[in-house]
Chain A
Amino acid sequence: MSTFDDPFDADRKLSRSGCVCGQHGSAAEHDQAALTLRCEPAPTDERRYEGVVASAAMRAMFPKDAARRAFLKSVGASTALAAVSQFFPIKTATEVFAEQRSPEKKDLKVGFIPITCATPIIMAAPLGFYSKYGLNVEVVKTAGWAVIRDKTINKEYDAAHMLAPMPIAISLGLGAQAIPFTVPAIENINGQGITLAMKHKDRRDPKDWKGMKFAIPFDYSMHNYLLRYYLADHGIDPDTDVQLRSVPPPEMVANLRADNIDGFLAPDNICQRAIYDGVGFLHILSKEIWDGHPCCSFAASREFITTSPNSFAALTRAIVDATAYASKAENRKQIAEAIAPANYINAPVTVLEQVLTGTYADGLGGVKTDAKRVDFDPFPWQSFAVWMLTQMKRWGQIKGDVDYKSVAEQVYLATDTAKVMKEMGLTPPATSYKSFAVMGKTFDAAKPEDYLASFKIRKVT
């Protein structure tokens, strides 16, 4: 889906009726398309900004879309562009527009955990996305999720890579003091997997997994919720039938080798590393549980947004831009090479390439290809947040009532991100809620309590 809204195309609608991007007849049609399509940047930024500026100019001159179309049809797009450029300096205006308000704070520190989920945050440094938006960002590798949380709360980091549920947990004061946190962008979707020790290669049915020990990266993680969901769906109660341990990802491979755990649900580069070292095999990809699930997020405290709104906007732009770049298959090899060195993820390039390109060894002697093994999509759907809240409640992390909608809207900044994306000439989705299916079961963000009540296996509180 091209996001470049060409105002000199007679077949396109510029008016704000119809849908937000102007490519579809109605908002409903747009939504339908937005579900299947992701945002991609226009060829260059200058072209993109030019599009945004030209759209505004054309809209001002022809408030009625029909008139603009008639004008374009009669004189032709190139003549129209030349004519309009004569009395409206589109080039100059584009330059002015591209020069964003200067950030309050240019030298920023962003923390990350060395996993492929952080790809956009990390690669934005070596590939120059931060500097493009006038920022001097130092990406700092951090030892674990609790440390990244503390360092971000302590303001040592201005923003950080966090697991998607973490900003919600921090805002609610779960496992930390309650501090309002926000998610301007999701990092990756999919890109996790369940890896089992080689000795279990004939025990592929989860019903036989009673008594096994699994590792997850953190309690407030999609990994935890997805693994619990998967197990419970197969009739295994994750609280009583198996043991779930919080283990830092790098230690998972070593623990698997040492036979301390039977498997784990972890980021793909950890899964692939276990395969690479011959200690485990890939049972399933997380996309087989929920295709398009969020995993990690880009998070900042609300205080940072209010004190440095321009820095925050520039950061969000850089991340959205980097995410769009990472979402393209043809860039993935280059990204793998850029983030493999010790300064960033510190892993063999082969491992990262298998994760990012989606052509990988499964650990059982087969080579599989799945281009969507990991994907990148920045839009922070508020329905994701509502789903996470239902699971937090399901497994007893939240006790009592929770106002799903207001928490989701306070933490997941869908509206602000949509605005930034629009300014960048990208096409954000028209709504901030979408419906999706987890293991074949449809989730309706409007009825979280009904969804919660429909689960047989849950923690009794």
Chain B
Amino acid sequence: MTSSLRLRAAIVSIALFLAFIGIWHIATRGTGAVATMTPEYARLMGLTATHGKSAMPGPLDVGAKLWEHVKRPFYDNGPNDKGLGIQLGYSIARVGLGYFLAVIVAIPLGFLIGMSPLINKALDPFIQILKPISPLAWMPLALYTIKDSGLSAIFVIFICSVWPMLLNTAFGVAAVRKEWINVARTLEVGTVRRAFTVILPAAAPTILTGMRISIGIAWLVIVAAEMLVGGTGIGYFVWNEWNNLSITNVIIAILLIGVVGMLLDQILARFTRMVTFPE
């Protein structure tokens, strides 16, 4: 039953994909030669103007270009032109670093907030105000104070991934069942030990969920941050190709951003499953 459902779902997926490609192909076909112009003039003009080629590339253009990128993902033609593999590597490294810093800060702080109602109340107004700020709004401030665009991008990743982790950790820690804590107390387990042996395992699924939300947001933000500061990374690649109005390359980048985002999410999802326990 489940296998046939899976098969049917796959067929529907493929059909949807083919329909999408087909419509895309038809919608972006050129209109053929347009206005008459002298050959001398036409030589100076682009295909859009001379052959009515759609400004939006078709699936075949994108496929051909994608193959070109896949063939040589790690080329390096100087500081402003590197292969897609290298660009993705830069972005993943930035996200990794910012995210790692956020984990170091958010999880202990979340524990503190979850375990102490006093700290919870005291920090609440700050968190409530800081949480909804768009991470990119920090960018000018970061550039001004940190004075380094690479570090600023990492800071922006840090600040955007800290909140979901912090709140989820605090929530998970505060929501640990009272009975378990009371049992630990009865057995005279110390605070530190209680935190690690009782609360941490109990709150782990919630914490991991927060981390999973964070990595998604971090990956969303890095593209925008790199478009702003430039230099390296997949966001810079999008901006550079946008500069050249090369929609083909922008579409390829979008595709890859989606794939990498999915992979990051799947990794965290796997971790979450590992710590989940039946009650």
Interface residues of A (CB under 8 A from B): 114, 125, 138-143, 147, 150-151, 154-156, 250-251, 253-254, 257, 273, 275-278, 341-344, 346-348, 350, 354, 359-361, 365-367
Contact = CB atoms under 8 A, between A and B. Distances in A.
15 contacts: A154-B147, A154-B148, A250-B242, A250-B243, A275-B45, A276-B48, A277-B55, A342-B81, A342-B244, A346-B244, A347-B244, A361-B45, A365-B37, A365-B41, A367-B40
B243 A114 contact: yes
Nearest to B247: A254
Interface string B32-46: 000101101101111
Contact of A156 (B37, B77, B148): B148
B41 A366 contact: yes
A147 B231 CA distance: 11
A278 B46 contact: yes
Contacts of B77: 341-343
B228 A143 contact: yes
Contacts of B220: none
Given A125-B78, A253-B245, 6 more contacts: A143-B236, A150-B143, A254-B245, A273-B245, A348-B46, A365-B38
Contacts of B206: none
A143 B79 contact: no
B40 to A, nearest CB: 6
Interface in B218-257: 227-231, 236, 239-245
Contacts of B241: 346
A363 to B, nearest CB: 9
A193 to B, nearest CB: 15
- Most central of A142, A143, A343 by chain B CB within 10 Å: A143
Given A342-B77, A366-B41, A147 B49 contact: no
A11 to B, nearest CB: 46
Contacts of A138: 79
B256 to A, nearest CB: 17
Given A155-B147, A156-B149, A277 B79 contact: no
A237 B79 CA distance: 43
Interface residues of B, number: 36
B144 interface: yes
Contacts of A359: 44
A354 B44 contact: yes
Given A156-B148, A250-B245, A140 B80 contact: yes
A293 B40 CA distance: 30
B45 A143 contact: no
Given A278-B45, A342-B81, A361-B45, A143 B239 contact: yes
Contacts of A275: 45, 49
Contacts of A250: 242-245
B271 to A, nearest CB: 35
Contact of A139 (B79, B149, B236): B79
B130 to A, nearest CB: 23
Contact of A147 (B37, B80, B230): B230
Interface string B59-87: 00000000000000000011111000000
A114 B243 CA distance: 8
A342 B43 CA distance: 22
B44 A257 contact: no
B81 A278 contact: no
Nearest to A359: B44
